[in-house]
Amino acid sequence: MRNINLESYLKSELKDNNEENDELASVIKSIADATKLIAMDTRVTGLKQIRGSLDKTNVQGEQVQILDQISNDKLVDILAKNSSCAGYASEELKDPKIFNSSARFMVVADPLDGSSNISVNMPIGTIFGIIRNTDYGKSSFIKSGRYYISAGYSLYGPSDIFVICANNKVAEFTLDPQKNDYFLSRSEIKVPNKGSIYSVNEGNFSIWDNKIKKWLLNTKNPSGTSAKNKKLRYVGSLVADAHRTLINGGIFVYPSDKNNQNGKLRLMYEANPFALIFTSAGGSAVDLEKEILDIEPENFHQRTPLIIGSKSDVNNFLEHMTTGKKKVKENTEITPIFKWTSNSITNLRKSLNLSRTNFGKKVGVSRATVLRWEKDIVLPNYINKKALDNAFLSVKNDLIDNPMED
């Protein structure tokens, strides 16, 4: 594993002869390059006088930390130069930046999450999601997590690490400062089905709904002979708390409360990326009742309750939220939404009234690939299937009355 760097990993993971893969790999690499620059700053905030805040508030009405702005600027500078990146939207921007509206992908990001921890040298991170650019222009940023084709984060901690979810696999890379490159340090991360840690800000207990209080009390005082007490770990930096939960298992809970009726964390660039990562790694990600990835966003900066972790621990949480024994839909991995066969692909293309060339452009492949699909010579791969899902979802209202035969 030692000598596999991010670039060679992406080449091997996204190897199918799919025009889209190279472009997806290049966008991921651009984001990784930006996080290397951010990491260089996070190591010396006390020396470069980049602690503290600017005399500026962001669209959330929060004071902008100097490093928030620097991190956002680095991501904008690098992604604006990537011809595969159509645009970028982030916690720090009121509106998205559109670079090239006909490019394949868009990036959403929280450029520096947990910035209130900078001044006390606690772990902080960059969170991002990559969405296929289906209907071009600004509106295409408002998409549910099902449209995210990749997601990841950087954690600036004792090590600077970069975790990426691509092709339904989650892998961790560690930055070698001498080589200034990310090398594979964990491949195919899987969340343990149950963990011994719970992570929640107990300081909010008095402003929680009673069901949340009941969950916490039962977690602290488990009943039953085999019940074991869990340990509390809470950094107050989402990337740090989420990464520990991804590796060790357990549960991270940030529910809604009287001060944050819709939750505190943001759907598009905090919850959705972690939901894709945890679901792809065999864990769960829900709000108080359903999967995060199924939330249809109304606005880009909207917030949500976020509960992520081991499937068993999240199901136990959900049982406290409902009277019945409701379980998270057993979705062992992010599978494409529809079953794509030569027939259903042809039906979709004809329903869109597109030539093979233009249909290929819409789903990111060549005319020849579309022909091979329709002649059953080759099957679409995972990324192709997500693109076909998106193509269908983008016009589903027209098609819903005449569902495609399989």
Q: Tokens 């959330």: give the residue.
A: 60
- Check: CB of residue 107 under 8 Å from CB of residue 129: yes
Write out the residues near ligand P6P by the rule CB under 6 A. Answer: 113-114, 116, 201, 236-238, 241, 264
Q: How far is the CB of 229 from ligand P6P (least distance, A)?
A: 22
Q: In terms of CB distance, is 165 or 253 closer to ligand P6P?
A: 253
Centroid of chain to Cα 168: 12
Q: How far is the CB of 116 from ligand P6P (least distance, A)?
A: 5
What is the phi/psi pair of residue 229, to 5°? -65, 145
Burial 56-89 (b: 16+ CB within 10 A, else e): eebeeeeebbbbbbbbbebbbebbeebebbbbbb
Say what the alpha-carbon torsion angle 168, 172, 175, 181 is, to the nearest 10 degrees. Answer: -30
Q: How far is the CB of 254 from ligand P6P (least distance, A)?
A: 6
Q: How far is the CB of 218 from ligand P6P (least distance, A)?
A: 21
Q: How far is the CB of 2 from ligand P6P (least distance, A)?
A: 31
Structure tokens at 319: 């049982």
Per-residue HEC secondary structure of 371-384 comes to HHHHCCCCCCCHHH
Q: In terms of CB distance, is 235 or 370 closer to ligand P6P?
A: 235
SS3 30: helix
Question: With 0-12 CB in 10 A as exposed, 13-18 as middle and 19+ as buried, what is 360?
Answer: buried
Q: What is the rounded CA–CA span in Å between residue 237 and residue 45?
A: 17
Q: How far is the CB of 128 from ligand P6P (least distance, A)?
A: 14
Say what the alpha-carbon torsion angle 391, 397, 403, 406 is, to the nearest 10 degrees. Answer: 10
Q: How far is the CB of 303 from ligand P6P (least distance, A)?
A: 10
- 393-399 contacts, C-beta under 8 A, 24 or more apart: 393/146, 393/147, 393/337, 394/134, 394/135, 395/351, 395/352, 398/351, 399/348, 399/351
Closest CA to 287 of 261, 311, 254, 260: 254
Centroid of chain to Cα 19: 23
Q: How far is the CB of 81 from ligand P6P (least distance, A)?
A: 29
Q: How far is the CB of 325 from ligand P6P (least distance, A)?
A: 29
